[in-house]
């Protein structure tokens, strides 16, 4: 018998903070019943996890939360994105479906088979994707009720060299890519992020990854829910792929704490 891992966690911050640090892709954990539906052998799976996981982003968020003057709330996915990717649309709206990487991936980062042909994604959507989306929706509603607004800062990382699955891999790859949404990302939040991350290198917007995550219930409807995605280039803080964190991590955590404080004010 193995313990069933907790699929996600909402970690409290200051009651007056409107900020939620969302960390969807940091974990490598795959429950045994989900592992058996993946066709890679163990070595192949470890290699895929090295490429696809936003390693150490939970550590960056945790350190930022500790350093911030007003502690943000944190929503962490405790399972690998190979179980379900909570940030993808669970249907045909998802452009990544074209490369087998909708909410339930069927292809690897190198466009090889991850799950068998004809794989039924619905059980994973029901068991993991929908409960996650519900809990994240409630987390945002909770901050809205407490403070009158919510600020979702989505914490990711991305490889310095494009992977074959990327749809927009030929664009710029700055040290910090800020993903924005025309409705949910106020110019002030974007400017605060550019300033906060200036010590970490170059910042750019929406390349190579665009957009930011907002639960569908609020998406395009509630301007009090603001959001920004922070995609950190992995060579700024870790050995790629899948290696340990290096000396760049504290600087990134400190920059993120500065952004949290700017967004809280
Ligand atoms: Zn990510």
Distance between Cα 208 and ligand 1 center (Å): 12
Q: What's residue 4's pLDDT? A: 63
Q: Once rounded to an integer, what is the mean pLDDT over residues 227-250?
A: 98
Instruction: Assign 1 a pLDDT band (cuts: 50, 70, 90).
Output: very low
Q: What's residue 219's pLDDT? A: 96
Distance between Cα 150 and ligand 1 center (Å): 21
Distance between Cα 103 and ligand 1 center (Å): 13
Distance between Cα 1 and ligand 1 center (Å): 31
pLDDT in tens, 156-200: 999 999 999 999 889 999 999 999 999 999 999 999 999 999 999
Which residue in 53, 62, 7, 66 sits closest to 156, CA to CA?
Answer: 53
Q: What's residue 153's pLDDT? A: 98
Distance between Cα 222 and ligand 1 center (Å): 24
Distance between Cα 25 and ligand 1 center (Å): 5
Distance between Cα 83 and ligand 1 center (Å): 14
Distance between Cα 119 and ligand 1 center (Å): 23
Quote the CA–CA distance of 252 and 197 in Å, as a whole number: 7
Give the torsion through C-alpha atoms of 93, 94, 97, 99, to 10 deg: 130
Q: Once rounded to an integer, what is the mean pLDDT over residues 22-41?
A: 98
Bridge pairing between strands 19-23 and 176-179: unpaired
Distance between Cα 16 and ligand 1 center (Å): 28
Distance between Cα 81 and ligand 1 center (Å): 9
Tally of CA atoms within 13 A in the half-sphere of 228 that contains its CB? 25
pLDDT in tens, 58-86: 999 999 999 999 999 999 999 999 999 99
Distance between Cα 240 and ligand 1 center (Å): 15
Distance between Cα 54 and ligand 1 center (Å): 6
Distance between Cα 262 and ligand 1 center (Å): 23
| pTM for this prediction | 0.96
Instruction: Assign 3 a pLDDT band (cuts: 50, 70, 90).
Output: low
Quote the CA–CA distance of 232 and 57 in Å, as a whole number: 9
pLDDT in tens, 111-154: 999 999 999 999 999 999 999 999 999 999 999 999 999 999 99
Quote the CA–CA distance of 62 and 75 in Å, as a whole number: 11
Distance between Cα 67 and ligand 1 center (Å): 23
Distance between Cα 148 and ligand 1 center (Å): 28
CA distances (Å), origin 79, targets 29, 39, 76, 83, 211? 5, 18, 9, 7, 22
């Amino acid at each position: 018998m193995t313990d069933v891992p907790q699929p996600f966690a909402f970690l409290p911050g200051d009651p007056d903070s409107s900020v939620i640090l969302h960390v969807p892709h940091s974990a490598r954990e795959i429950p045994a019943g989900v592992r058996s539906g993946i066709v890679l052998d163990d070595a192949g799976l470890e290699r895929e996890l090295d490429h696809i996981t936003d390693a150490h982003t939970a550590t960056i968020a945790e350190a930022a939360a500790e350093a911030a003057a007003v502690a943000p709330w944190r929503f962490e996915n405790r399972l690998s994105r190979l179980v379900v990717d909570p940030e993808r649309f669970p249907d045909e709206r998802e452009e990544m479906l074209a490369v087998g990487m909708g909410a339930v991936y069927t292809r690897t980062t190198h466009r090889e088979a991850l799950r068998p042909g004809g794989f039924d994604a619905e059980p994973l959507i029901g068991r993991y994707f929908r409960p996650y989306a519900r809990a994240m929706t409630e987390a945002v509603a909770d901050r809205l009720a407490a403070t009158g607004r919510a600020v979702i800062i989505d914490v990711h990382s991305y490889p310095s060299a494009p992977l074959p699955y990327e749809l927009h891999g030929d664009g710029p790859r700055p040290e910090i890519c800020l993903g924005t949404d025309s409705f949910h990302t106020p110019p002030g939040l974007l400017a605060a992020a550019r300033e906060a991350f200036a010590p970490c290198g170059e910042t750019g917007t929406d390349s190579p990854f665009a957009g930011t995550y907002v639960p569908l219930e609020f998406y395009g409807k509630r301007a009090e829910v603001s959001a920004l995605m922070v995609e950190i280039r992995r060579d700024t803080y870790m050995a790629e792929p899948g290696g340990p964190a290096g000396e760049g991590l504290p600087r990134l955590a400190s920059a993120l704490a500065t952004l949290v404080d700017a967004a809280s004010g």
